[in-house]
């Protein structure tokens, strides 16, 4: 078992080495780093003010309370933060394929997926994780359910699964770069925008929209179902339990899409 895990450990090691180099490059511009962190905070405060103002007018949205919606919102931003901080590289794939720079990755003796994922760092992600984490903590404080070790463990698993789903969606959709030659990520951006629907409880949408964010692109498992589980909301909460399975499924699909695209890859200019 230990011997079989060694290649995996090596990949993780290489991934963090690459990421570390990217971080150094960004930290060289200290002012930029500070600006990115502050701007991420401002973006979140603006979003929080919006939810807060809406709920100042009404007690609940379709039965969903203020803190439940804040939790969904915080999960969106924490997962987005994890995506930018550790896996920003997926957003560069289109450009790499378009310019032919991707060739370099195929020449190195490391999985191209790891190289792509570690190809960039978005430090605004750190700001998103911190402020999103604070919002999550405050909304958890308003959950009227007794905390058990099992429930606390489930919280960790749910957040990790939500982040995995987000990254898997980015990876899978960025693989479209192998088919569509464009200097920037059109399809990933388009799908990313679908995530707007996950900011609010899915019960406010029509059946069609619900089907898209639950089944087609499982954004609802990033925010809605974990929140429903943690707040112990009848009927919806139970579905939250399969979030880890959805995460594994998404990851398999994302990696499959990437590898499938990779087989089709022809370098530009040959």
Q: Which structure tokens are listed for 266?
A: 């022809």
**Least distance in Å: CB of 98 to other proteins?**
12
**CB neighbour list of residue 19: distance below 8 Å, 6 or more residues apart:** 86, 118, 121
State the number of binding residues for other proteins (CB under 8 A).
42
Nearest to 17 by CA among 119, 111, 126, 122: 119
What is the C-alpha separation between 118 and 85, in angstroms, rounded? 10
**Least distance in Å: CB of 261 to other proteins?**
18
Question: Do 133 and 40 touch, CB atoms closer than 8 A?
Answer: no
Question: Do 132 and 78 touch, CB atoms closer than 8 A?
Answer: yes
Q: Which of residues 88-147 bind other proteins (CB under 8 A)?
A: 124
Cβ-based neighbour number of residue 245 at 10 Å: 11
**Closer residue to other proteins (CB): 127 or 261:** 127
Question: Which one of 13-21, 101-109, 203-211, 260-268 is the stretch in contact with other proteins (CB under 8 A)?
Answer: 203-211
CB neighbour class for 176 (10 Å; exposed up to 12, middle 13-18, buried from 19): buried
**Closer residue to other proteins (CB): 124 or 243:** 124
Task: Verify binding: residue 23, other proteins, rule CB under 8 A.
Answer: no
Please compute, for residue 67, the number of CA atoms within 13 A of its CA located in the half-sphere on the CB side: 13
**Closer residue to other proteins (CB): 147 or 184:** 184
Binder among 2, 6, 8, 53 for other proteins (CB under 8 A)? 53
**β-pair partners for 61:** 64
Task: Verify binding: residue 215, other proteins, rule CB under 8 A.
Answer: no
Question: Do 236 and 220 touch, CB atoms closer than 8 A?
Answer: no
**Least distance in Å: CB of 210 to other proteins?**
10
**Closer residue to other proteins (CB): 112 or 132:** 132
**Closer residue to other proteins (CB): 212 or 262:** 212
- Residues of this chain that interact with other proteins (CB under 8 A) are 29, 31-33, 35-40, 42-43, 45-47, 49-50, 53-54, 56-58, 61-62, 124, 182, 184, 186-187, 189-190, 192-194, 196-197, 199-200, 204-206, 209
């Amino acid at each position: 078992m230990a011997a079989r895990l060694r290649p995996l450990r090596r990949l993780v090691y290489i991934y963090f080495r690459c990421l570390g180099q990217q971080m150094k490059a960004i930290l060289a511009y200290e002012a930029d780093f500070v600006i990115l962190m502050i701007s991420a905070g401002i973006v979140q405060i603006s979003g929080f003010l919006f939810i807060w103002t809406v709920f100042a007018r009404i007690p609940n949205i379709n039965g969903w309370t203020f803190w439940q919606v804040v939790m969904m919102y915080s999960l969106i931003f924490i997962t987005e933060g994890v995506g930018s901080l550790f896996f920003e590289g997926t957003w560069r794939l289109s450009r790499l394929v378009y310019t032919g720079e991707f060739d370099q990755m195929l020449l190195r003796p490391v999985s191209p997926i790891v190289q792509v994922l570690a190809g960039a760092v978005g430090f605004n992600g750190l700001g998103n994780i911190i402020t999103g984490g604070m919002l999550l903590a405050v909304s958890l404080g308003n959950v009227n359910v007794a905390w058990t070790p099992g429930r606390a463990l489930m919280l960790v698993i749910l957040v990790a699964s939500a982040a995995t789903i987000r990254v898997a969606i980015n990876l899978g959709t960025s693989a479209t770069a192998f088919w569509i030659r464009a200097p920037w990520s059109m399809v990933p951006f388009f799908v990313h925008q679908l995530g707007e629907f996950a900011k609010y409880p899915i019960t406010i949408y029509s059946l069609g929209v619900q089907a898209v964010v639950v089944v087609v692109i499982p954004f609802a498992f990033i925010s809605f179902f974990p929140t429903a589980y943690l707040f112990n909301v009848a009927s919806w909460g139970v579905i939250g339990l399969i979030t880890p399975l959805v995460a594994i499924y998404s990851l398999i699909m994302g990696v499959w899409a990437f590898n499938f695209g990779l087989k089709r890859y022809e370098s530009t200019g040959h």
